[in-house]
Amino acid sequence: MIDVHLAKLCGALGLAVLLAQPAHAFSQIVTKDGVAQQREGIVSVPLPPLAGTVTPSASPEPAAAPAAPVANPPVAAPTAPADAGPQPTPPAAPATQPPENAPGTEPAAPDAAPDGEAPDGEGAEAPTTGEIDPSTVPAGAIAKTIDEEDAGPPAVIVYGEEGLPKPVRDLRHTLMAIAKTGDIEALRPYIQVGEEGTLLSFGEASGDPIQFLKSASGDGEGVELLAIMLEVLEAGHVRNEPDSDNEIFVWPYFTAVAVDKLTKPQKVELFELVTAGDYQEMLNFGAYNFYRMGISPDGKLQFFVAGD
């Protein structure tokens, strides 16, 4: 009788020991050192623990995944959960940024400039607008401007004789009257010779000035050159280096502007002096290079010369 009870007790103890170990299906193969090995075609499936047993915390088996939520769970009356902790708040969806320069939005402010530097556009010198101070334009004259890059203030172009000093105005009238006669010899009293004389050429111009002008004229008599002089003096003029020892009035104004920036009406004025082919050569040269005339404020003919 004692042997029977002892056998039952040993069986119970053995069963408890077996239950305390992880249970595996018979298809799992274990080596001598107790490590489970997977073989091709053989699946190791851990068995769930029996009810009432405790699985050791150091078990190498991964924890079971949480159960998926039940779709459409029954709706119950809301009740305050007992001892419920703070519920996690789902992250807010990122705000949608409006596209840059979208209608109804203002452009973003520019980044701040480093210390000691002004932001772009602040403190920079404003470009020349080409506007003219009315007080600087002679009464009754027409003034225009043409901006030139890196060439200082725009040139003030004046048409007519208003604002010209009397000596300059008188010599202009005289030269225009001589040009209309066709007699180039009548220019002699107004052409000065010597080192400080009237400049007639950027090259060699020795000898008699009237003979030189005749040789430079296409007709050989100076008539063509007189016609050019008349057209030059009828064009608009500019005042170079005003209120200085080098002040001079120069015709035509094309000497002081960029030929590649002329408007169509200004090109018409230019083509009264030169041909379209001459204009193309000026574009290639980079400046006006036809005849020009300069008169100093005291009424002296300083130059009548072609080139630049």
Is 223 a residue whose pLDDT tops 90? yes
* pLDDT score at 308: 72
Position 200 confidence tier, pLDDT thresholds 50, 70, 90 = very high
* pLDDT score at 88: 53
Section 36-65 average pLDDT: 49
Position 92 confidence tier, pLDDT thresholds 50, 70, 90 = low
Q: What percent of the chain has pLDDT over 90?
A: 44
- Asked whether 237 and 252 are in contact (CB, 8 A), the reply is yes
232-269 pLDDT per residue, tens: 999 999 999 998 999 999 999 999 999 999 999 999 99
Higher-confidence position of 196 and 85: 196
* pLDDT score at 6: 53
CA dihedral 179, 252, 281, 151 (to 10 degrees): 160
Dist CA 135 CA 132 (whole Å): 9
Section 189-209 average pLDDT: 87
* pLDDT score at 291: 97
Is 230 a residue whose pLDDT tops 60? yes
Domain boundaries of the chain, sorted by first residue:
136-305
Q: Which of 24-38, 143-157, 207-221 has the lowest mean pLDDT?
A: 24-38
Higher-confidence position of 43 and 125: 43
Nearest to 187 by CA among 201, 171, 203: 171
160-191 pLDDT per residue, tens: 988 899 999 999 999 999 999 999 999 999 99
E-strand spans in the chain? Answer: 29-30, 36-37, 142-146, 155-159, 238-240, 248-251, 292-295, 301-305
